[in-house]
Chain A
Amino acid sequence: MAILFALLIGVLTAIGVYLSLRAQTFPVVMGLTLLSYAVNLFLFGTGRLASNAAAVIEPHATYTDPLPQALVLTAIVIAFAMTAFVIVLALKTRAELGSDHVDGAADQPAPPTAAHKNTSC
């Protein structure tokens, strides 16, 4: 099961990375969401995968590791706040610059000033 779990994390990470390299803001936000899924699952995995072992104290029960769960719980909520912030940033970018490109302007080869400086230095 661990192999499948690890593969899932690998796929989520790969797609997350791929999307976060896109040129528009919305795919980047989706990519970050996928990455946060992957990270949360990874953290969760550090406590191993146990069935029917919720960390709620009861007589005669086996328990899974509660610490990664506590870490992941706050991570989920923080990731939500981050997603919200980034998407609002994307909205703000569109409002201020009129474009949803990550650089705030349509895709150009390279700004001429930077290219000029590169060759002159």
Chain B
Amino acid sequence: MSSLIAIVLLPFFGAPFVAWLGARWRPAAAGVAVLITLACLLLLGIAAWGADLSHAQVVSFSWIPLIGLDFAFRLDGLSLLFSGIILIIGLLIVIYAQYYLATEDSTARFFASLMLFMGAMLGIVLSENLIQLVIFWELTSLSSFLLISFWQHRQEARTGARMALTLTGLGGLALLGGVLLLGHVVGSYNLSVVLNAGEVVKASPLYLPILILILLGVFTKSAQFPFHFWLPNAMAAPTPVSAYLHSATMVKAGIFLLARFFPLLAGTEAWVILVGGAGLITFLLGAYTALFKHDLKGLLAYSTLSHLGLITLLMGFGTPLALVAGLFHLINHATFKASLFMVAGIVDHETGTRDMRRLGGLARHMPRTTLLAIIAASAMAGVPLLNGFLSKEMFFTEALDVSAGWGLPLLVTLGAVFSVAYSIRFIHDTFFGEPSPDLPTHIHEPPLMMRIPVMILVVACLAVGLAPALLVGGILNLSVSAALNAPAPIFSLALWHGFNTPLIMSMLAMFGGLVVYLARRPLTRWHEQSLGRLNAKTPYNFVLRALQLGSETLTHAFDQGRLQPMVFWTLTTTLAAGLIGFLHFSAAPLFGSDPQATPFDGITALGIIIMMGLALSIAFIHAQRLIALLVLSVIGLGVSLLFVRYSAPDLALTQLSVEVVTLILMLLALRYLPQTSPPDRAKRRRLDAFLASLIGAGAATLTYAMMSRDFASIAGYFLENSLSQGGGHNVVNVILVDFRGYDTFGEISVLALAALGIYALLQGIKLPPLTPPPIATARLAHPMLLQTASQLLLPMTLLFGAYILLRGHNAPGGGFIAGLIVASAILLQLITYGLPADGRALSAKAHGAIALGLLLALGTGLASIVLGYPFLTSTFTHIRLPLIGDVEVASAMMFDFGVFFVVMGTAILMLNRIIHLQAEEPHTVTTKEPH
């Protein structure tokens, strides 16, 4: 049974191979495609041979076990029938297409897309899991898009492909919704469970939404009214695609779903009205319109609509016998319609046109093709001795059975009249009568290999017509019982059922069809002046344009390409969201009683008030950028003092070193930017200030509300386990490198990316500084005193950095802080001694440090995997060193080394790049002097 998975996956994995090989050697594409299809057929045969198909064979793998999703396939009669049709017709189409495609068409692309489609289609019919089925369903829409737009240079191909994708894509979404609801009602997404829950589903209040959503998927896919119009537009595809996707298989996916969900959804009034109604309208509309289409493929497209409508109508009847008739007609339609499409392709291929007003008399040039076409078209018209006749008789019988009056049988006969008429037109206008004088005269039979697939299908039409019970009785019985999820009803497939009402209806249709065909000229004139002017495309285009305009308007209203209004609206929305939260909050008083209130402390309070004053002053002096920047950095120092005051030595150290590096960075950048900002308009300032104070008030309220409440923390866990499991006394550091090591790993990766981004952004940048350096600074660029001091400072700072790094696990410090300290030591050297002529050497070293750091961190993580623990599990041990004594060594320290290298490399890389902008300008080159 596991070969089922191979059947579905083989085309998917084969497709890239087809494309790869086909691009190198043209015939290989079709060759490989044939091999893949044959292999799938063989696998299907193996799977079906030994299995007892009277109940479904399921093979499944765990996919997302947490929510009960399996990757599961099933083989039963219904899926066997459909996968058989998909593979057999697929094989014939591949052979036909090889000769159909012109030399300038890319066979690699064509056959690869075709294989993708085949895999997706097999996935639909063989799926046990419904979610998985919907995924394959969407894949058929996508591959159909690729195939319809195969001739990308043609406008109508692009339009048709887009329309098909829009409609079937929307339908796919609806189907997903329906399936999710279904799974919710039943409690499982597995068909084996779902199919037995018919009573539950029908009794559920969600039945109608489920039905409507699933039917939206079905009707869009199977081109049922009112979503039928994409199918004629999809005829811009190459003919093999039309034959395969748009008549034999993909459009039948909807029918497949109707049959699949038959025991679940059928039999209610809503089902009869919706499914039957759509089917009947499509049946009549398609048959009627087909007669007036002058394009061979257009005629076949509308005829396909009509036949799909017929099958849908049968499904809509909701009786088991109607299901038999529907599936039987589905087989028959696949055979005769695919062959007729291939004939249309042959005519197009040999004459260069598909317009029946120009064609004629081809019987003289291609008698064999003519014969094949006549048989296939007769099957389509429902002529006795052919398969189409049998299923149409069954259709009439069912129509008579379910209806009380004469209305439905009459309408059904009317549809049949038109289908006879367009079948006659297809044959007569193409192969007989007078051709247009501008048609080429040297028309001949197509290559044999193009005719053989047609021949095989036509023989099938005849054979099934003559010996239906023998050839399709078995598979029909199996598939019907699988679709019903119950034993199939007793039905008889025979050529002769006696002289009964259905036979009379057939004869009426034949006669009426002939009459309508003879009267086609006045009818066409009348049609083109009345009903022919209606076009479902018009409302579709209207809706599409309205949607596009609407979204454009909405987008432009918010996005005018200006940052300030966008930031303003984003912040306003945030404020509104927060406000709604505040207003709806009623569970407890906003502010708590603060049992563990921090005692008041005058000095700290003074510091905080000074910080607030400084922050407020920035709002007024921000136009004087240098001063504002210095004030900003004083606030930063204040923040780090607050960290010191409230027991966060690690944070204070980090904030302090970050503040130093940031200040240098901003000062450097300010040289290349204007020193002052032009004033804003007063109105804008007032509005911004208003919004800012509201947001500030919100932030303050939120903070106080949070801080004044009862305090329950998970800190206990970290405090208890830091020493015993992480091997470190400094809990903050242990959390960083051990408990939450994975997060830290992500964060240092972000740092590395930011550094590389900055490096790349500044590559090759031309940026003259706006302010030339004052003469005094140029002379005093490298003052002696600073040089001497920094010479002394360098080894001390490096030593201190190493000390901070090593003690980080047990005392405030660690990789982040040490990295910044070492970076600032090196930056001090850069500033005091001027720049090396080429900054690249240092950049390269910084790159190396970042890479080394990431590798160290990753290596620490991987080492624990190698030792059989989860990623980044840490361990520690005690080592007794001479002189120093007992030293605790944790593997997490290795990780901290990694952090150190990344942070140091990042800081140096960023700043060196900006400092180096200066080296490229002519001013500072002159100041470079030997030290």
Contacts and interface: CB of A to CB of B under 8 A. Distances in A.
Interface of A: 1-15, 17-27, 29-30, 33-34, 37-38, 40-42, 44-58, 63-67, 69-70, 72-74, 76-85, 87-92, 94-95, 100, 102-103, 110-111, 114-115, 117-118, 121
B567 A45 contact: no
Contact of A10 (B647, B655, B703): B703
Nearest to A75: B747
B600 A1 contact: yes
B707 A5 contact: yes
B557 A118 contact: yes
B651 interface: yes
26 contacts: A1-B604, A2-B598, A8-B608, A14-B693, A14-B696, A14-B697, A15-B618, A27-B622, A29-B666, A48-B598, A51-B601, A51-B645, A55-B647, A55-B732, A56-B811, A65-B715, A70-B735, A74-B816, A80-B658, A81-B750, A84-B758, A88-B761, A88-B910, A100-B674, A103-B561, A111-B562
Interface stretch (B405-413, B629-637, B863-871): B629-637
B648 A64 contact: yes
Interface in B159-180: none
B658 A54 contact: no
A82 B609 CA distance: 28
B542 to A, nearest CB: 16
Nearest to A110: B560
Contacts of B629: 30
B914 A88 contact: yes
Interface in B722-770: 722-723, 729-732, 735-736, 740, 743-744, 747, 750-751, 754-755, 757-758, 761-762, 765-767
B700 A92 contact: no
A76 B658 contact: yes
A15 B692 contact: yes
B730 A55 contact: yes
A44 B699 contact: no
Nearest to B729: A57
Given A37-B636, A80-B658, A8 B730 contact: no
Interface string B682-697: 0000001101110111
B601 to A, nearest CB: 7
Nearest to A62: B647
Contacts of A40: 639
A111 B719 CA distance: 58
SS class of chain B's interface: helix, strand, loop or mixed?
A: helix
A1 B598 contact: yes
Interface stretch (B85-93, B278-286, B469-477, B548-556): B548-556
A12 B615 contact: yes
Contact of B654 (A26, A76, A91): A76
A19 B562 contact: no
Contacts of A95: 765-767
SS class of chain A's interface: helix, strand, loop or mixed?
A: helix
Given A25-B673, A66-B715, A42 B699 contact: yes
B594 interface: yes
Contacts of A21: 564, 567-568, 571, 688, 691-692
B731 A114 contact: no
B931 to A, nearest CB: 29
Given A11-B612, A121-B549, 18 more contacts: A7-B608, A13-B699, A14-B695, A19-B622, A26-B673, A29-B666, A41-B639, A52-B647, A55-B715, A67-B714, A70-B732, A72-B648, A78-B747, A84-B910, A94-B673, A114-B561, A121-B552, A121-B556
A114 to B, nearest CB: 4
Interface residues of B, number: 119
B596 interface: yes
A107 B709 CA distance: 46
Contact of A114 (B549, B556, B751): B556
A71 B643 CA distance: 14
A115 to B, nearest CB: 8
B792 interface: no
B563 A102 contact: yes
Nearest to B658: A80
B718 A67 contact: yes
Nearest to A99: B674
A38 B699 contact: yes
B598 A69 contact: no
B647 A50 contact: yes
B597 A2 contact: yes
A17 B692 contact: yes
- Between B662, B732, B816, the greatest number of chain A beta carbons within 10 A of the residue's beta carbon is seen for B732
A91 B669 contact: yes
B670 to A, nearest CB: 7
A108 to B, nearest CB: 9
B615 A34 contact: yes
B392 to A, nearest CB: 52
A111 B559 CA distance: 11
B631 to A, nearest CB: 9
B642 interface: yes
A72 B732 CA distance: 10
B762 A49 contact: no
B438 interface: no
Contacts of B913: 88
Nearest to A64: B647
- Between A25, A26, A41, A46, the greatest number of chain B beta carbons within 10 A of the residue's beta carbon is seen for A26
Cβ-closest 6 pairs across A and B = A14-B696, A10-B700, A6-B704, A121-B553, A18-B692, A6-B703
A1 B597 CA distance: 8
A3 to B, nearest CB: 6
A80 B556 contact: no
A17 B647 contact: no
A67 B729 contact: no
Contacts of B670: 26
A77 B677 contact: no
A114 B632 CA distance: 37
Contact of B556 (A23, A33, A92, A117): A117
A42 B646 contact: no
Contact of B707 (A45, A89, A115): A45
B484 to A, nearest CB: 54
Contacts of A70: 732, 735-736, 740
